[in-house]
Chain A
Amino acid sequence: MKITLFFLVILFSISSKLSLAYPNYIGHGYTSCLNCHYNPFGNGPLNDYGRAVSATLISARWAYPKTWTEEDLAEKSGTLFRKPKQDWFRTQFNYRRFRLTRNPGSAKNETELWLTMQADARAIIKFGENDKFTSVVNYGYAPAPLSQVSGVSNKDSWRSREHYIGYKINPKVGVYAGLMDKVYGVRLVEHIAFSRSLPQVTMNDQAHGIAVHYLNDKWEGGINGFLGNLSQEENLRMKGGSTMVERTIGDIHRIGASYMSSRNKFYSLQSYSMHTRLNLKDGASIIAEIGEVQKDIESTQSTIKSRYGLLQTYLRPARGFYVLNNIEYAKADTSDENYIVRWGPAIQIFPAQRIELRGDIYNTRVFGPETSVPDNWTLLLQTHLWL
């Protein structure tokens, strides 16, 4: 495999369509998603602590008077900049829009597209010590996938992204029931990463089910049984189960593994992966994942195997400023000699709390003995606001 690594660029990653988790914050010492999210596996609304972290540790403070303390910033991290007046109800609003440019700089082939990727309203009800009971509803805008925009196509829609009840049996064990993301792999913000699309755990793949979460000093993991999305046609729903387990190494790093087995009327899918998240200190981190997916198709009695790999590096030159690099590998069919390498350097800036600006440029190259395909370049600029 030849990978030409060059080009230093500026701008953002493939499509942070959703407010997924930011697993790179292990670089700040946050090994578990539970610290900042109501969903212990990441994604979805931030809890009060997570909002305070985003306002202080993550975001720059260039825009604020020097007399404001970190405590002042944290107090203003609530919805509409207000400190909540009660403990049991929270709301959040998220908005993302990006500009996608294909073949940037090409007078002949450059195309540009503006997309609203997310406009979500979220409500959280919680009570009990340490949010023992929670109920989360996330309702919002779901744009039709880019690949389906042309021609007679699915339309944009408004849908419930997730709605579930959670109950913490004790500080180590929680049970969650409802519509949630499947428990599998690293929940990257780049939802179309091959490590998300090939195992079918993208921004649109939530399923109704039950998940059990476990956390102790060294281990964190979960088991998820699911029935597919019950609002989808019955024969398309992927029913099955998945599990993910992570082990803390040296107090600050994680290694983990995942397995998922599911089926619908047309095929069964088995997927397994290994991953690691490494804390390089001061906000810097490395995330890596490799995996394999196998589809056994009923009608043809045939099998398709796919493999994928991911390596992400995050550096944090200054507070509120991240520089990242994303390298992905995918072989959609292992019996085919072709494979894809996608490389995407990016910058991510949080100039003030509730604002994220990100720019990626990524290069996609197809390798194979039979194909001679020119590289594909894409530029993405993103604005993400939350209240």
Chain B
Amino acid sequence: MNKVFLIIAFTLLSSCQNFNSNSADESRFSESPIPASGSNDPNDPAYQSYVKLVKSYNIIKTRCFQCHSQWQNLNSNQKWIDSGLVFKNNPESSSLINRLKNFDPPGDMPSGANSAIPNDDYLTLVDWIESMP
């Protein structure tokens, strides 16, 4: 009987689980947290900047959040700059860009089975950083 108790005690042992293949599911598959723009005028530079941010955020969400779930809170240009991942107006110095497999020399992201991101997406990210107000 003592052995049975020992077995039960052993099998109740557990510990925290802070990452696996599903850790980032919530950030990858839920709605965008970017605050709405105050303007809807396509000619308004603020609105153009907002659109670029939303487009880029959605690309990063699709391509990167599976592993980089912590980036989901970066919902403004300033937060991306403060994170150190983006150098304003300088995509080549931005690790968000130069770690990509699309970059020359190629980086290692997205990792694993994910190939380089589509060229259109890559150019969207580059344009977003280059034109940041």
Known: A103-B105, A237-B22. A160 touches B13 (CB 8 A): yes
Please name all residues of chain B whose beta carbon is closer than 8 Å to the beta carbon of A367 when the two chains form the complex. 115
Q: How far is the CA of A266 from the CA of B28 in the complex (A)?
A: 9
Contact between A202 and B21, CB atoms less than 8 A apart: yes
Produce 1/0 per residue, A267-284, CB < 8 A to B: 100000000000000000
Asked if A76 is at the interface of the complex by the 8 Å CB criterion, the answer is no
Please name all residues of chain B whose beta carbon is closer than 8 Å to the beta carbon of A179 when the two chains form the complex. 14
Please name all residues of chain B whose beta carbon is closer than 8 Å to the beta carbon of A164 when the two chains form the complex. 11
**8 tightest A-B CB contacts, nearest first:** A330-B113, A147-B67, A204-B20, A135-B7, A200-B21, A266-B29, A338-B115, A159-B15
**Given A125-B7, A151-B85, A339-B115, list of 5 further CB < 8 A pairs?**
A153-B70, A178-B11, A197-B113, A266-B30, A340-B114
Please name all residues of chain A whose beta carbon is closer than 8 Å to the beta carbon of B67 when the two chains form the complex. 145, 147-148
Name the one of A108, A165, A178, A197 contacting B105, with C-beta atoms under 8 angstroms: A108
Asked if B109 is at the interface of the complex by the 8 Å CB criterion, the answer is yes
Q: How far is the CA of A144 from the CA of B70 in the complex (A)?
A: 13
Contact between A229 and B20, CB atoms less than 8 A apart: yes
| Interface size bracket, B side | 35 or more
Contact between B30 and A299, CB atoms less than 8 A apart: yes
Q: List 11 A-B contacts (CB under 8 A).
A: A125-B3, A137-B11, A154-B18, A163-B11, A165-B11, A178-B11, A198-B113, A205-B22, A265-B26, A299-B29, A374-B105
Contact between B29 and A298, CB atoms less than 8 A apart: yes
Q: How far is the CA of A41 from the CA of B31 in the complex (A)?
A: 39
In A279-333, the 8 Å CB interface with B consists of 297-300, 306, 308, 330, 332
In A118-177, the 8 Å CB interface with B consists of 123, 125, 127, 133, 135, 137, 139, 142, 144-148, 150-155, 157-160, 163-165
Known: A144-B19, A165-B11, A205-B21. A151 touches B101 (CB 8 A): no
Asked if B126 is at the interface of the complex by the 8 Å CB criterion, the answer is no
Write the nearest CB–CB distance from B75 to chain A, whole angstroms. 14
Contact between A146 and B26, CB atoms less than 8 A apart: no
Contact between A366 and B115, CB atoms less than 8 A apart: yes
Asked if A371 is at the interface of the complex by the 8 Å CB criterion, the answer is yes
The residue in A152, A198, A235, A267 that gathers the most chain B C-beta atoms within 10 A of its C-beta is A152
Please name all residues of chain A whose beta carbon is closer than 8 Å to the beta carbon of B113 when the two chains form the complex. 194, 197-198, 306, 308, 330, 332, 340
Contact between B31 and A151, CB atoms less than 8 A apart: no
Please name all residues of chain A whose beta carbon is closer than 8 Å to the beta carbon of B111 when the two chains form the complex. 146-147
Name the one of B26, B84, B112 contacting A236, with C-beta atoms under 8 angstroms: B26
Q: How far is the CA of A381 from the CA of B67 in the complex (A)?
A: 24
Contact between B21 and A366, CB atoms less than 8 A apart: no
Which residue numbers of A lie inside 8 Å of B, CB to CB? 88, 102-103, 106, 108-109, 123, 125, 127, 133, 135, 137, 139, 142, 144-148, 150-155, 157-160, 163-165, 178-179, 192, 194, 197-198, 200, 202, 204-205, 228-232, 235-238, 264-267, 297-300, 306, 308, 330, 332, 336, 338-340, 366-368, 370-371, 373-376
Q: How far is the CA of A88 from the CA of B3 in the complex (A)?
A: 9
Contact between A229 and B17, CB atoms less than 8 A apart: yes
Which residue numbers of B lie inside 8 Å of A, CB to CB? 3, 6-7, 10-23, 25-26, 28-31, 67-68, 70-71, 83-85, 95, 101-102, 104-106, 108-109, 111-116, 118-119
Q: How far is the CA of A135 from the CA of B28 in the complex (A)?
A: 37
Known: A163-B13, A370-B119, A373-B106. A155 touches B7 (CB 8 A): no
Write the nearest CB–CB distance from A188 to chain B, whole angstroms. 14
Q: How far is the CA of A137 from the CA of B119 in the complex (A)?
A: 47
Please name all residues of chain B whose beta carbon is closer than 8 Å to the beta carbon of A198 when the two chains form the complex. 113
Contact between A102 and B26, CB atoms less than 8 A apart: no
Please name all residues of chain A whose beta carbon is closer than 8 Å to the beta carbon of B13 when the two chains form the complex. 137, 139, 160, 163
Please name all residues of chain A whose beta carbon is closer than 8 Å to the beta carbon of B23 when the two chains form the complex. 154, 232, 236
